[in-house]
Amino acid sequence: MTESICLIGFDEQENDHFKNKIDAHIIAHVTLPSYHVFNGEFFVDRESRSWQVPVDRVVYHGIFEDDFDLLIALSLWGGPCFPNPRGMLDCRLKHA
């Protein structure tokens, strides 16, 4: 079975480059996708469909104003993610 990799935050040209170079099913989102964690799996919206699919790995590029919940979800999921979402959370301002 082909591995699924979710790319978040790369522009369209970069996504096309990765799709041509990586031997895996690539789900690419220029902005933050809808997502959820269920039974130890991380699900994201398909690029052109309305349902969500599980992914095996996530590559997160960029910093978004409202990415705190995504980083928490990636941390709870605990799957392969670059950069490490826990480290990214440590870089954010702490709220009491």
Tokens 């990799």, residue? Answer: 5
At residue 95, the pLDDT reads 59
Q: What's the number of domains the chain is made of?
A: 1
C-alpha separations of 79 from 48, 82, 89 in Å: 24, 10, 16
Residue 62 lies in a domain: yes
Rounded distance, CA 25 to CA 13, Å?
17
Residue closest to 67 by CA, chosen among 79, 57, 75: 75
Residue 39 lies in a domain: yes
Residue 73 lies in a domain: yes
pLDDT along the chain (96 residues), means of 10: 94 96 96 95 89 96 87 97 92 66
At residue 93, the pLDDT reads 67
At residue 79, the pLDDT reads 98
Q: Output the domain CATH number for residue 50.
A: 3.40.50.20
Residue 68 lies in a domain: yes
Residue 96 lies in a domain: no
**CA distance from start to end of the chain:** 44
